[in-house]
Amino acid sequence: MASNPAAAVPAADDAPASGAPTAAMQAVELAVKAATAYQRPDLAARARQALARLHHPRVRVLVVGEFKQGKSMLVNALVNAPICPIDDDVSTSVPTVVRYADSPTVTLVRSAGTAGAGGVADADEREERAQVPVEQLADHVSEAGNPGNRAGLKYAEVGIPRRILADGLELVDTPGVGGLGSVHGSATMAMLPSADALLLVSDASAEYSRPELEFLRQAGRVCPNVACVLTKIDMYPQWQRIAELDRGHLATARIDAELLPTSSVLRLHAVSSDDRQLNTESGFPALVGFLRDRVVGQAGRLANRAAANDIVTITSQLATGMRAELAACEDPDSARRLLAELEQAKQRAADLRDRSARWHTVLNDGIADLNADVDYDLRDRMRVIVREGETMLESTDPGKAWDQFALQIEDQAAAAAAANFVWASERARWLANQVAELFEEDGARSLPHLHTSAGPSLPDLIGEMDTPGGERFGAGQRVFIGLRGGYMGTLMAGMYSTFMGLTLLNPFSAAAGLLMGGKMMRDESRRLLDRRRMEAKNTVRRYVDDVSFQVGKQSRDMLRQVHRDLRDHFMARSDELVRSAQESLIVAERAAQAGVAERQQRTADLKAELERIAALERQGQALVPAGE
């Protein structure tokens, strides 16, 4: 029976985690105050962005798997609420994001101006958001209510008051239609770079399939945390044997992923009856521990490291001008040399901002090369599929084996699309590191979060091949062709036999009619077979072209967004460096021209301020434990 999302949510353990500011928040707040006090709005804006990330963390976990493996029920059991619709004949057709909210809400998100199942979203595409009653969620996100996502939704957001979600954890229930080996599966792969973790859900009825292992292998290359969840262990007594087989497959494939056996039914019953032992048997404590320690905890450590880097960078730039002014106050005789050094530093910073800077060249050339390489890689993979498909068609009748053949081509296209996207994501990160290395010498040590995915929405990829047309050689046609050929053969042979004194219809003319009728049937059968093969080849080419177009568009959008992210990030960093150098030069010149008494007073003030800045820097450095 389908779950009722409008059902009352139990109140136990629903309060959000403590809202007390963390050490990272306190340190960044001090950095905001310091940058504002020293009249550096650019650095203050950077600190506020870091503070916003700490106050509103987003830790996204994708829940993926084949059709009817228990993904939606797993999400419901994790949050202890009937949010995602489940039933024997209900499956998810739209990605559903479950996150924390003070009260249950449902928001539908679609691309602005999209009609029907929308295309691949541009990086800066606007979104339309509409709230609907919680009890109507299944009408919009399930195959029963929204088959094939004909409503054109990008994703649905569900807010619910749950402590497990209060630290920023987001669970994304993904569609399983078509399976991981389909092009829908490769579309799920396109969502992975936006995720902090992946849960591959597979029930205990059978060991891992080839598409599942291949998906895990590729997912591990673009997602930092991958875990395998074995569901429905309460239904299958042999689940331990399946678990051991799955661990063996993971070890053989060299996939570093933890296997977590679970039972959503036991979990929900344990929570409703407050049975701790039953909850332990459900396997969910291990899954919750993985999410808390390996996912949310790791994301928190990364956020602290990013905040520490921002604090150190801000304090370094604030201290640069103070040290220059202090040096000029303490040694006016060396002011000329100091001013020359500051002028050179200012020129180096200005050069970074110039369009001819090395990092600009490396970024522009790298994106151009990457676009060409990704496009070539995709076309090459698709050409191989077309060639192999045409070779297979030469030795088979498409009319008899089309279903199996089409499934094989779809699987190959899905694998090619996923491999191309993974490779593009890896190359994009490599390029980002190459550009960042050019900034290392100039003090910019951070990298932006690269938007290598459009978010939780699935690209609208082509899912199934059309069935090719082609005339079938039915029994009626065979009889007609055979009679026509037999008539012509009998007539021709009979006419010749009359010169030999025989009648028009004789054994020789009858035999000729049979031979001619059989030949015409074989020729017509061969002609129709060749026609079916040609139409099948054209269908394969059209399908591959459609997949290439959609996947290529997704890759180009991703690379264009990476280009924008890197350009904007490093332009902002270069602007900061230019301003710091300019202000250092100005205060140094002013100090060199000041009187003795003013310099002495200013020296004492600067030392005190530098000590405060150093204390803030130490506070930022303490956010990262030693050894990390």
* The amino acid at 60: R
CA gap 208, 250 in Å, rounded: 9
Is residue 93 within 8 A of residue 72, CB to CB? The reply is no
Element (H, E) at 99: strand 96-100
pLDDT for 477:
65
The label of the residue with tokens 């960044």 reads: 28
Cβ neighbours around 244 below 10 Å, total:
12
Is residue 463 within 8 A of residue 183, CB to CB? The reply is yes
> What is the four-CA torsion angle of 417, 421, 422, 425, rounded to 10 degrees?
180
Give strand pairing partners of 97: 157, 172
Distance of CA 90 to the CA centre of its chain: 25
Largest CA distance in the chain: 143
Domain boundaries, the chain: 19-54+302-330+594-628, 57-282, 331-592
pLDDT for 188:
65
CA gap 23, 290 in Å, rounded: 24
pLDDT for 87:
66
Is residue 415 within 8 A of residue 212, CB to CB? The reply is no
Q: Does domain 57-282 have CATH number 3.40.50.300?
A: yes
pLDDT for 3:
44
Neighbour-count burial for 477-489, b at 16+ CB within 10 Å, e otherwise: eeeebbeebbeeb
Is residue 525 within 8 A of residue 391, CB to CB? The reply is no
CA gap 594, 259 in Å, rounded: 70
Q: How many CA atoms lie within 13 A of 147 on its CB side?
A: 2
pLDDT for 476:
65
CA gap 567, 367 in Å, rounded: 11
Element (H, E) at 412: helix 398-440
pLDDT for 190:
63
pLDDT for 462:
53
Is residue 294 within 8 A of residue 199, CB to CB? The reply is no
456 closest CA partner among 92, 86, 209? 92
Q: How many CA atoms lie within 13 A of 424 on its CB side?
A: 36
Neighbour-count burial for 596-618, b at 16+ CB within 10 Å, e otherwise: eeebeebbeebeebbeebeebbe
pLDDT for 349:
75
Q: What is the DSSP letter of 628?
A: -
Q: Which two structure tokens, joined as six digits, stand for 321?
A: 């001008």
Which residues lie below 8 Å from residue 10, measured CB to CB, with a gap of 6+?
80, 81, 271, 272
Residues of the chain with pLDDT under 70: 1-21, 87-90, 112-126, 176-191, 193, 333, 335, 440-464, 469-487, 489, 491-506, 508-509, 512-513, 517-518, 524-525, 626-628
Give strand pairing partners of 230: 202, 261
CA gap 309, 302 in Å, rounded: 10
This prediction has a pTM of 0.70
Cβ neighbours around 371 below 10 Å, total:
17
pLDDT for 348:
76
Using CB atoms within 10 Å of the CB of residue 277, give its burial: 0 to 12 exposed, 13 to 18 middle, 19+ buried: exposed
250 closest CA partner among 215, 224, 222, 203? 215
165 closest CA partner among 73, 281, 261, 288? 288
Is residue 564 within 8 A of residue 428, CB to CB? The reply is no
